Amino acid sequence: MPAYRLTLEYEGTRFRGWQEQKNAPLTVMGALRRAVVEVAGTDPGGGAGLGGSGRTDAGVHALGQVAHLRLPRPVDPERFAAEVNERLPADVHLLSMRPAPERFHARHDATSRAYLYQVSRRRTGLAKRFVWWVRRPLDAAAMARAAAAIPGRHDFRHFAADPEGRRSEKKSTVVVVEAAQIATAGELVLVRVVASHFLWKMVRRLTGVLVEVGAGTFSPEDFAALLEPGSGPPPIVPAEHTAPPSGLFLERVLYPGDPPLAPPAPAFPVR
């Protein structure tokens, strides 16, 4: 079956995330599947037929989510993508569709994922759905000093949410982070984290505690201590400082041979 690599952007505000769920009919992947079925006349199925590079949670956006699609016969990618876009809701757009190797898998073949979080230092009437407005003054330099401790191999158990309400002994919370950057652009403080994979709510909790560092509540040293968890309770509980989903974007998914990331830039500027 011919395989294709799809790249999508979407505003996640009204969706229950990317992944299809039995009790949540409004998902991005569900919207994409319905559009593909209308154009192709057949359901590609789950798993190998249609799948994304990873889940984004309810309210989280994407600038470059990647999916694989397998169809029973070859199609003209440009024409097929145009017809799919005509059937997608206004807050989901198929940026590109191109032929891929027969065994291409959006999740398994990805080498890293980059998430971008936008923190606004002023109230905005235009970008509310794409930022987290923090009223307190923020020291971006202090946030950058704290974020410098993130790259490398760490146990992020304090920054992970447990969907079942109890931590599974078999599920590792160790993640190798390739890069963590803090940048400013106008009234925005941008937080970018790049890794092969992420734990549930990990980026939002990292951002939440970094904001507390920027506000002067915690020090960079307090933040670094969370990355070396001991046996006792943590001095800071990141779950209490989880950033809202509105400011989080899946920025890019990278594969072998892809160009490197450009410097962090706003998805929606706030001047």
Catalytic positions: 57
104: which 2 tokens?
A: 């291409």
Q: What is the 3-state secondary structure (H, E, C) of 5-18?
A: EEEEEECCCCCCCC
Q: Would residue 160 be called left, alpha or beta, if left means φ above 0 and alpha means ψ between -120 and 50 degrees?
A: beta
Bridge partners of residue 14, in order along the sequence: none
Q: Going along the chain, which residue ranges are E strands? A: 3-10, 50-52, 61-70, 92-100, 112-120, 132-133, 152-155, 174-185, 188-195, 248-254
Bridge partners of residue 93, in order along the sequence: 9
